Amino acid sequence: MVLVRSCGPWGAGVVGGEVITRGGDGATLTTTHGTHHAPARPVPVVDVIGAGDAFVAGYLSGTLDGLTAEQRLHRATTTAAFAVATRGDWEGLPTRTDLPLLDTPAGTTLR
C-alpha cells in the first residue's frame, strides 16, 4: 500500500488525498472531491521489485504536470506496469514518450 498525503508547497487542492495501491487490483485515490479507482494495467509480470516506487514516481510526475486525479492514477498505474514487466527495479521505467505505448491496441506496429 502506498499512502500519499497532502504536503509541501502545492497545497491540498493539488496533492491532497490518500492513495491505496492494491497490486494487480489497481489503485484508489480518495480526496475531498470523491474517490477515483484505476485498474492495474494488464502486462506480463516479470519482477515486482520497484513497482511501488514506480507508482509513486508516476503519481508525483502527474501531480507536477497538473494532471487531474484520474490522469495521475492512470500515469501511476502505467509507470508501475512498465516496472513490473521488466527484471530489475528501474530498468523498465518509461520515458514520457513511452507512456502512451500501453494504450495502443494489441498488434499495433510501434516502429
The residues annotated as belonging to the active site are 53
Taking the CB of residue 11, how many other CB atoms lie within 10 A of it?
10
